[in-house]
Amino acid sequence: MTGPLVDVTGLVKHFYLNAHDFVGAINGISFGIAPGETLGLVGESGSGKTTVGRCLLRLLDPTDGQIRFDGLELTTLSKRQLRDLRPRLQIVFQDPLGSLNPRRTVRQTVEEPLILHTRSTPAARMEAVSAMLQRVNLGPQHLQRYPIELTASEQQRVGIARALITKPALVVLDEPTSTLDPAVRAEILLLLADLQADLGAAYLFISHDLMAVERISHRVAVMYLGHIVELAPAATIIAEPRHPYTKALMSAVLSPDPRRRLPPNPLHGEIPSALNPRAECPFYSRCPISLEACRAGVPPMIEVGDAHYAACLRAREAPAMAGL
């Protein structure tokens, strides 16, 4: 992997309810994304995944930490400076219909970023829009249609075309396939991979769908209650998870391969409240192998293999000793 395009250090995002109480959506996470790489970000609902993506694009202002993009510190840039960067930082939203303006045609939607961020002529913009629509498998017949006239798959293809029309360096994909049926989901994942190969964009792929994450990601980061608890190459984290939460996630995956057997690792209890998080392992209350030492502070990420890190005091123990 080359040097990072995105380098996140100690990222924190708290939503304050009053002078004393806050929701810890992100609690000091660090990671990088290389040019052309896909980093999958997985975890339960409420773990902070979407907040990470929005902070990365400065759609939300972080409470603390650093976000360096291509050498620039995003957290200190003004709105004007961010506007100049917007063509290089894009997002595809979870709800394709909700993310599209119902009063704009497909052509207007995809052309808008070019109007805002380039000085190209109308003819040049039309050529670029037509080429991009063709690239996402939409034809000239879609140009004058409105979102409500499109299928869910077509709506998401329009969202992808809008995000990639300016040839961004980084695209945040926020659950882009969660509302699609399995067959269409596979088509969209293949499309995203092909577009990445052509354009060289880096992806942050946010999802709770582990099979989709495994298919598209180079590396995977697992989030729990605002913390990254494991980070590794995709194949490694699927085959050899070392954090007990990751193991529980893997055991919940229904694989299409009937020969693929994963040991059951059910979790007990609900994810704890993110209100005023304690200085202890965030997984302590649900962990089947917890120690009293786990309450002494948030475990640091430690290396447990080649490019494989886990935030667990017992992550270096043999898998059998890890109890899972």
Q: What is the pLDDT of residues 251-280, one digit of tens each?
A: 776 666 666 665 566 677 778 899 999 999
CB 77, CB 158: distance < 8 Å: no
- pLDDT given at position 320: 44
CB 282, CB 275: distance < 8 Å: no
Q: Kindly indicate the confidence band of residue 250, based on its pLDDT and cuts at 50, 70 and 90.
A: confident
Q: Where do the domains of the chain lie? A: 243-324
Q: Kindly indicate the confidence band of residue 82, based on its pLDDT and cuts at 50, 70 and 90.
A: very high
CB 27, CB 227: distance < 8 Å: yes
CB 274, CB 307: distance < 8 Å: no
- Residues 234-243 as b/e (b if ≥16 CB within 10 A, e otherwise) read bebbbeebbb
- pLDDT given at position 3: 77
Q: Is the dihedral of CA 61, 210, 88, 113 positive or negative?
A: negative
Dihedrals φ, ψ of 84, to 5°?
A: -65, -25
> Per DSSP, what are the bridge partners of residue 73?
68
- Among 35, 31, 13, 30, which residue's Cα sits nearest to residue 22? 13
Single pTM value for the model: 0.92
* DSSP alpha helix (H) spans, 95-199: 106-117, 122-135, 152-164, 182-199
Average pLDDT of 19-26?
Answer: 95
